[in-house]
Structure 1
Amino acid sequence: MMDSREADTEAGEAAVVSRRGRQLDPALDEAIVKATRRRLVLDGYSKMTIGDIAADAGVSRPTIYRRWPGKLALTIRAIDFGFGVQRDTDTDLRLEELSAPEALIEAVRRLNPYHFNPDAMVLMGNLMGETIRTPELLAIVFEHAVEPRLGLLEGVLADLQKRGEVRADIDRHTIATLCFGSYFGAFLRAEHDSNGLAEQVVAVLWPGIAVQQ
């Protein structure tokens, strides 16, 4: 953790670079964000420093402050980066082309924290550990990374209800929470290979939520 002199130095650097109008390099942005994500895994938010991130990314601290005002803003960008990669890579769900169980399996698969980041569980654990010290950080995780994923699954369940294939009386919120939690449960039971977990979860859920023909 930085001392007061380091904090004063970095604040001064931020003030200086904020007055410069240089064109920013997107490649450096990505390098900094990826270095931040790695430091969040290795050190956690509280112990992570701008100096360490700069060293890992091969840039100076003023280069970082030219882009972000401080560690919290950079961390928020790093969180959004991971979700953006998933959002940009996943194709739109075409429910009309999928059977109801297939659509639900795909929605549950997209909850998987491992899908694009093998360190996702450690990263999430470190961020959850900041609940007391930096509660606003977990709020950002909830808003930017958790709710969009859960909202997708709840939306798929709602569409399947409209199709008459899922019962109208189900609790979509609780089902989404259970599905998301299955990945954390598998991790804690040392079942780190999450391939096939979506199919297993839906196989258990489907008989209880499907409209009986």
Structure 2
Amino acid sequence: MEAARPVSDNGVMMDSQKAILEVGAAAAASRGGRPRDPALDDAIITATRRRLVLDGYSKMTIGEIASDAGVSRPTIYRRWPGKLELTIDALDYGLRAQRDTFPNLRLEELPALEAFTEAVRRVDPRYFNPDAMVLMGNFMGETIRTPELLAVVFEYAVEPRVKLVERVLADLQRRGDVRADIDIHTIATMCFGSYYAAFLRAEHDRNVLAEQVVAVLWPGIAAQ
């Protein structure tokens, strides 16, 4: 099923935001020239992620990123058309890096309770990046100034995590381990939101949060 697209405050689908992402992807795919140095790419992405946390998107500049990465501004512009495309790659880098740190487990082969708990653990925005909550707060603060960032966050930082929980719950439904009538979308959203609530309540022991959330939800969703 196609993921629902984000909507603006007046309910209009943000097709322009989707178009911006598509343009950025097309620009990245069409870039040619000399072979790129992966070490430089990593340094630029790392510097971008740091600047996003420290400065936020609006105040972040290509010049500061170049200085932090030890490269020139033209070096960055040969790789990315602008700040938005660089931010997209920085978010995608974080998601891929998080996936690389996951334990080598096949969730579909785990017992039901273990599979659900592991999915909830992986939905944690700070699983890989301890500054993820600050980063996400900066992005949400840009909603008015730079509304197209909402589509970037939705596609690269929210949906891949929430969809993981939805896929695991759908698989457990097929296996007969959870009730067929549960609202998978809402449950996955609650799991994702629990990490934000814990952060705002200064409950920083994330090691037990997945188990705590599952302990509350499981009795209501498990098949009888």
| TM > 0.5 fold call | yes
Measure, in 2, the Cα distance between the counterparts of 1:145 and 1:89: 16
- Percent identity over the alignment is 78
Structure 2 unmatched runs, 5+:
1-30
Aligned to 1:130: 142
1:110 aligns with 2:108: no
Residue 180 of structure 1 aligns with which residue?
A: 192
> RMSD of the TM alignment (CA)?
1.5
**8 Å CA contact 1:44, 1:126 repeated in 2:** yes
Equivalent position amino acid for 1:175 in 2: I
**2:129 & 2:203 partners in 1: Cα distance?**
16
What's 1:204 paired with? 216
Deviation of 1:92 after TM superposition, in Å, equals 6.0
Output the CA distance in 1 between the equivalents of 2:196 and 2:108: 31
Shift of 1:134: 1.2
Alignment match of 2:95 (pick from 83, 88, 91): 83
> Quick one: distance in 1 between partners of 2:108 and 2:148?
39
Moved over 6 A (4+): none
Structure 2 counterpart of 1:32, one-letter code: I
- Indicate which of 66, 86, 97 corresponds to 2:109: 97
Q: Is the 8 A contact 2:98 2:128 kept in 1?
A: yes
1:89 Cα deviation after fit: 3.1
Give per-residue Cα distances to partners, 1:5-36, cap 9 Å, x unaligned: xxxxxxxxxxxxxx993332110000000100
Contact in 1 for aligned 2:125/2:132 (Cα 8 Å): yes
Query: Counterparts in 2 of 1:43-58, with a 5 A limit?
Result: 43-58=55-70
Q: Deviations over 1:128-173 (max 9, x none)?
A: 1111111111111101221111111101001111111100110000
Question: Counterpart of 1:22?
Answer: 34
More displaced, 27-36 or 188-197?
188-197
Deviations 1:36-77 (A, max 9, x none): 000000000000000110111111111111100111110111
TM-score of the superposed pair, with normalisation by structure 2: 0.83
Q: Give CA deviations for 1:105-149 in whole Å, capped at 9, x if unaligned.
A: 000011011110010000010011111111111111101221111
d(CA) in 1 for partners of 2:138 and 2:190?
Answer: 21
Q: Specify the structure having the higher radius of gyration (Cα).
A: 1
